[in-house]
């Protein structure tokens, strides 16, 4: 059984594809492939003699589509840290946290707005105990979010596009 993990290498400005081989309960790093782009990835993967069962990648549509094309049975997992980073970037949670704190002080104890709920969604999502619980949490969160908010709509579009790969996190092998 093989697992591939995308890791960005800022020094060489390339993606490294770490390929792990299952050794019982542990994963052993067996090789590293340097990838420049989708075409390079296709070329490199066609020359390796393994068939990865899992791939942990960033939110990268070309890599995702390439992996599904080359390995239709592969289970792709979107990197948890990348989803959290994208969520925090889109929602701009640091600025909103300051604004929310100021509003709470000003309102002296009124209930917090839904932006506070949205800020904690992604952390709660990844703390769910199972795939089913995570799906329920996501669906419940959507019912409370104003869909006319551009930030929330943008994040929901990303979640919906990569939903299967994001939710696969709950069935992913631990490295």
Q: Do 63 and 94 belong to one domain?
A: no
Q: Is residue 19 part of a domain?
A: yes
Q: Is residue 175 part of a domain?
A: no
pLDDT digits (tens, 9 = 90+) for 29-69: 988 989 988 888 888 888 888 899 999 999 999 999 999 99
Which of 20, 41, 17 is CA-nearest to residue 29? 20
121 and 149 assigned to the same domain: yes
Domain boundary among 78, 104, 134: 78
**pLDDT tens digits, 102-152:** 444 444 444 334 444 566 788 889 999 999 999 999 998 888 888 788 888
Terminal C-alpha separation, the chain: 13
- Give every strand in the sheet of 26-35, ordered side by side: 26-35, 14-23, 2-9, 54-57, 75-78
Q: pLDDT band for position 92 (50/70/90)?
A: confident
Are 47 and 87 within one domain? no
pTM of the model: 0.80
Question: Into how many domains does the chain fold?
Answer: 2
Distance CA 64, CA 119 (A): 27
What does the alpha-carbon distance between residue 163 and residue 149 come to, in Å, rounded to a whole number? 20
User: Which of 35, 30, 43, 36 is CA-nearest to residue 70?
Assistant: 43
């Amino acid at each position: 059984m093989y697992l591939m993990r995308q890791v960005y290498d800022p020094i060489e400005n390339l993606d490294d594809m770490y390929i792990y081989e299952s050794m019982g309960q542990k994963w052993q790093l067996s090789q590293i492939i340097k990838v420049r782009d989708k075409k390079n990835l296709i070329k490199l993967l066609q020359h390796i003699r393994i068939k990865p069962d899992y791939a942990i990648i960033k939110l990268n549509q070309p890599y995702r589509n390439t992996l599904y094309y080359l390995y239709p049975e592969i289970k792709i997992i979107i990197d948890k840290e990348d989803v959290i980073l994208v969520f925090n970037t889109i929602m701009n949670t640091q600025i909103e946290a300051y604004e929310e704190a100021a509003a709470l002080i000003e309102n002296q104890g009124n209930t917090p707005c839904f932006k506070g709920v949205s800020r904690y969604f992604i952390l709660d999502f990844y703390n769910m105990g199972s795939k089913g619980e995570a799906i329920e949490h996501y669906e419940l969160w959507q019912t409370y979010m104003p869909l006319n908010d551009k930030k929330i709509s943008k994040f929901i579009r990303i979640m919906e596009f990569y939903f299967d790969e994001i939710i696969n996190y709950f069935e992913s092998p631990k490295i």
